[in-house]
Structure 1
Amino acid sequence: MKAVILAAGYGTRLQRDVAADRSGRFAHLVGVAKPLLPVGNLALLSHWIGALAASNAVDGIYVVERLGAMACLQLTVKHFQIQDHVIVIGGDTLFKEDFSLTEIQSRFSELQAECEDNSLLLSYQCRDDETHKYGIVEIDSECRAVCMKEKPLPSETTSRRACPCFYMLSKKSLPLLDTFLQEKKDAPMHEKDAPGNFVSWLIPRKPVYVYEISGRFDVGNLQSYVDCDQYFKEKLYDIHTYMV
């Protein structure tokens, strides 16, 4: 299995907040890409690389940027001729301490034993007033995704399962990247760039299952970054086993 970390985020909201701050406390964040933000004693990206290495979940890690999420993923698969399962990870995302790469990979292996087409995504419960911020997945009684709605109003779905950018994609689904991007070649950027749009498109075509976690750190603006950084400095139980 390979890991592709999408590091193309510009952090527009965060940088706007940093520029507006007059305290000087955050001057060191000016121009810093979100995956390189210092979180605790490490860059955000380094938490992922450390956990992936410690868990032995993958035998290759690729960090890509600037082309847009799905174009980045397609470029990586083609350039490195990847013919293996792929973990797609948002470079601006960190999870709560119940998240375990080892346990999630074990669940993915179970699904693969049932059918090689199976992929796996994560979800956590969000509030009613947060559905418009996220991709929201609806599932059946077997935790298989039925559909995913991008930033719906609360009235548009009964589900409150928000999906962060962490997908274990079967190698059987990777060739469909070309099909997706070809179909979307004339679409607005937001329709083909966000990784959730590919997953939404994939769900009716290949089986995708859902693994529930408790939540994530959403580093979107300056306050959410401060909260995340403070947690890692003061409350993280064990940095050596985090996400492993």
Structure 2
Amino acid sequence: MVVKALILGAGYGTRLQRDLESNSSYHHLLGVPKALLPLGGRDCLITHWLDRLTASGFSKTDDIYVVTNEASIKDFYLWAERHDIPSDHIINDGTTSNASRLGAVPDILFGIDAMAANTNDDLSVLVLGGDTLFLHDFDLDQFLAQKQKGACLVTTYTVETNQVHKFGIVETDHQGIIRSFLEKPSPDQTESRLACPCFYLLDSAAIPLVRGFLSDCKTKQLGLEHYDATGKALAYLYPRIPLHTHTISGRIDVGGLQSYIDANDYFAKK
């Protein structure tokens, strides 16, 4: 099994940009994509993922890709140059604004198609949200070792009842295989408290299904909000391919300024 990593960095971080504009202490970060924010002693948020990936055997020159947009492509090229990532592994989706963005799921497929052009192998893809990090105790090697052929693997962690409505929540069977996905449900809609972040190891058999999800969205004339949420794609996938789960202790998302400050403080401690 060949596994390559695709980091999602094509969003425009509009909420964070608004927060930065209103706080002069952080004006130097205006226009910086969330994935490239300096964080916890590293030059960029995604450099933390780069460290983990290379420690687990991913090759900088062969296995790690980033999908971004036209507005940020030059900044990602500079990051890639600093870290010896080939420039053709920085994939430009061609969009120039939040209003014209493709959406998260189309960007995943856009990146996968670019990867596939560089390999003839049976390709599995580890999709990582470029604005998300896991806590220090996360073990990528253990996660990868759990992957089974013909199945996908995702992560879950437990959230408090009063936080359920903020997350995509999965329900699993006794083997930890997803049996239902609920997008930001109220707590009384499910007994599950398992959130599922954007960190998916997609089996090669899932890639045509992702394509099918987008085709279904187009046929039904569904709007951007349907395919900009990666959890919607999981809801389409789980009846069609096994989605196994791997438990983690938690995650840190960079959404607004305060979450960035909190993430920076957390990762600066180690």
TM-score, normalised with respect to structure 2? 0.80
Distance, in Å, in 1 between the alignment partners of 2:10 and 2:190 is: 30
2:27 pairs with 1:44: no
The aligned residue for residue 130 of structure 2 is: 91
**Secondary structure at the counterpart of residue 206 of structure 2:** coil
1:206 Cα deviation from its structure 2 partner: 0.6
2:179 pairs with 1:146: yes
**Secondary structure at the counterpart of residue 138 of structure 2:** coil
- Figure out how many residues of one structure are paired with residues of the other and give that number: 227
- Of 132, 156, 159, the match for 2:189: 156
1:4-35 CA-to-partner distances (Å, cap 9, x unmatched) read: 111122222211111112xx321111111110
Greater shift, 124-133 or 136-145, is seen at: 124-133
Letter in 2 for 1:16: R
1:65 Cα deviation from its structure 2 partner: 2.2
RMSD: 1.4
Letter in 1 for 2:136: E
Distance, in Å, in 2 between the alignment partners of 1:130 and 1:170 is: 30
Greater shift, 192-201 or 93-102, is seen at: 192-201
Distance, in Å, in 2 between the alignment partners of 1:190 and 1:95 is: 25
Letter in 2 for 1:19: E
**Secondary structure at the counterpart of residue 38 of structure 1:** coil
1:57-206 map, 5 Å: 57=58, 59-66=62-69, 67-81=102-116, 83-108=122-147, 112=148, 116-185=149-218, 186-206=221-241
2:28 pairs with 1:28: yes
Letter in 2 for 1:49: L
Identity of aligned residues (%): 44
Contact 1:117 1:172 (C-alpha < 8 Å) held by counterparts: yes
1:227 Cα deviation from its structure 2 partner: 1.1
Distance, in Å, in 2 between the alignment partners of 1:156 and 1:57 is: 40
The runs of 4+ residues in structure 1 deviating greater than 4 Å are none
1:78 Cα deviation from its structure 2 partner: 2.0
**Secondary structure at the counterpart of residue 80 of structure 1:** helix
Distance, in Å, in 1 between the alignment partners of 2:114 and 2:151 is: 24
